[in-house]
Amino acid sequence: MTYSTILAVGLGGFLGAIARVYVVHLSNKTFVSDFPYGILAVNLMGSFLIGVLFALFTVYSFSGVTKSFLTSGFLGAFTTYSTFAIESFFLLETSFLLGAMNMGLNLFGTILAAGSGYKLLHFFLK
């Protein structure tokens, strides 16, 4: 791994973390609820975006540093699996329904979002 790649991942992570905090804050301010809509929003958006990026990677040439900045860096910090895990745990303690809903929407929603981003961009790039 080169220093350029390490720097790209670090810079992408810095920007992704800031974007995550902003989106979560905006979502939680807009949708006041016990359900963690903000975390769901970043996980769905990040999954959709990684699908879009991987579709672009199959059609256009990107450097390894750019790919690392966008995927491991920005999207790695933007999405929040560890936050999802602890929020699911706490939701399950108080409401099995909300906990199960959070886990199902994040798990299946993010897979659907990633596949949709990939397929959508492939459709438009052909």
Residues of the chain with pLDDT under 70: none
What is the model's pLDDT at position 82? 80
pLDDT recorded at residue 126: 79
pLDDT for the residue 83: 82
Q: 52-58: which pairs have CB atoms within 8 A and are 24 or more residues apart?
A: 52/117, 52/118, 52/120, 52/121, 53/117, 54/118, 55/117, 55/118, 55/119, 55/120, 55/121, 55/122, 55/125, 56/121, 56/125, 58/122
pLDDT at 76: 94
Q: Quick one: pLDDT at residue 86?
A: 86
Contact 27, 38 (CB under 8 A): yes
What pTM value is reported for the model? 0.86
| pLDDT at position 80 | 81
